[in-house]
Amino acid sequence: MSGEQRELLMIQVAKRYYELDMTMGDLAKELNLTRWQASRLLSEAREAGIVRIEIVPRAPRSPDIESRLQRRWNLKEAVVVPNNGEEDEGLLLDAVAQAAARMLAGLGKVPLIGVSWGRTMSAVAHRLPPFWNEGVEVVLLNGAMNIRSPSVRTNNTAELFARSANGTATLLPVPAILGHAATRVALEQDPTIASVLELARQAPVICFGMGTISPDSVLVQSGFVTEAETAALKAKGAVGDILSRYIDAYGNIVDADIDARTIGLDLRYCRERKFSIGVAAGKSKQPVTLACLRAGYVNVLVTDEETARFLLDESHHG
């Protein structure tokens, strides 16, 4: 068979399969081919560019960049929202939060989900559709009893998640970061607190935001960390926090003393979840998002296109 004849046969196979909705068995029979030959011709047609598959989502998505992110960082899923020239991080966060809410709702019936708190997760909670996972139990992954009340309440995420699904929320009614490590040890030995932490470790799906290392971060605004401590953490190489734990550019804990005073899910458990979903929007979240990917803390990422391109930059792959 000449090259031209083979190409014509590829077109005949592709047309019947994609446009006439014929099964592989039926089109093979009609063209006097085996199923293997028909399947091989279809594969060759895709490889040669005769068949082009275009994914056109109804929601604003960037499928090509999503696929590249998944391959590069070995992710189970990536959801990338186009920036469309938007520079306002508040508006960008809202768009990414909507995408994260749709993704969570699309997981179907999940009986137990763990969530963090903060501005990002609060935005996601407000975008969840009614009865998105009816009856779900939502467990808080890190302490959230504020020392100071910020202008916008962001520590009630678990309640918001549960309320929108007609489910229940299991809270962790302690500060995220305590004054002494001994206090954290004593609290974790309390049966009530221990049971919540154990439930958090069992959650097959967890979803969390990523905090920046700045004076306006929720940990500073809520009174858990001082601005002086923030400056010291930054000097030690901190790029942000996950579940109230400060990490460096490779996901390592930056300050052992502060970490010893922190109550919440240990980061190593993030690597063991069926779905560990990280949500990040805006330029300020790029360093901590990269650190999460390097450390393998997330296997699903929901972010904006500019951040996705930053994460695909070859210079960041060390």
Domain with 38, as residue range(s), is 3-47
What are the phi and psi torsion angles at 175 (to 5°)?
-65, 150
Structure tokens at 14: 């592709």
- d(CA 149, CA 220) in angstroms, rounded, equals 11
Q: Are residues 298 and 178 in the same domain?
A: yes
Residue 115 contacts by C-beta under 8 Å, 6 or more apart in sequence?
121, 125, 138, 139, 140, 141, 157, 158, 161, 206, 207, 208
Q: How many domains does the chain have?
A: 2
For the segment 94-121, the average pLDDT, to the nearest whole number, is 94
Write down the pLDDT at residue 58. 57
Shared domain check, 13 and 81: no
Residue 146 has what DSSP assignment?
A: -
Residue 53 lies in a domain: no
Average of per-residue pLDDT across 273-283: 96
**41 and 170 belong to one structural domain:** no
pLDDT in tens, 152-195: 667 789 999 999 999 999 999 899 999 999 999 999 999 999 99
CA distance 111 to 134: 9
56, part of any domain = no
Model confidence band, residue 11 (pLDDT cutoffs 50, 70, 90): confident
**Together in a domain, 39 and 68:** no
pLDDT of residue 54: 63
**pTM (global) more than 0.95:** no
pLDDT of 260 > 90? The answer is yes
pLDDT of the residue at 46: 84
- Predicted confidence at residue 3, as pLDDT, reads 75
User: Is residue 21 over pLDDT 90?
Assistant: no
Both 28 and 134 in one domain: the answer is: no
- Joined together, the tokens standing for residue 131 give 């009865």
Average pLDDT of the chain is 90
Query: Any idea what the CATH number is for the domain that residue 20 is in?
Result: 1.10.10.60
pLDDT digits (tens, 9 = 90+) for 240-252: 999 999 999 999 9
Residue 52 in domain:
no
Residue 207: exposure state from Cβ atoms within 10 A (0-12, 13-18, ≥19): buried
Q: Are residues 88 and 189 in the same domain?
A: yes
Cα(132)–Cα(122) distance, integer angstroms: 16
CA angle 141, 125, 247 (to 5 degrees): 40
Q: Does the pLDDT of residue 139 top 90, yes or no?
A: yes
pLDDT of residue 56: 56
| Positive or negative: CA dihedral 104, 165, 201, 264 | positive
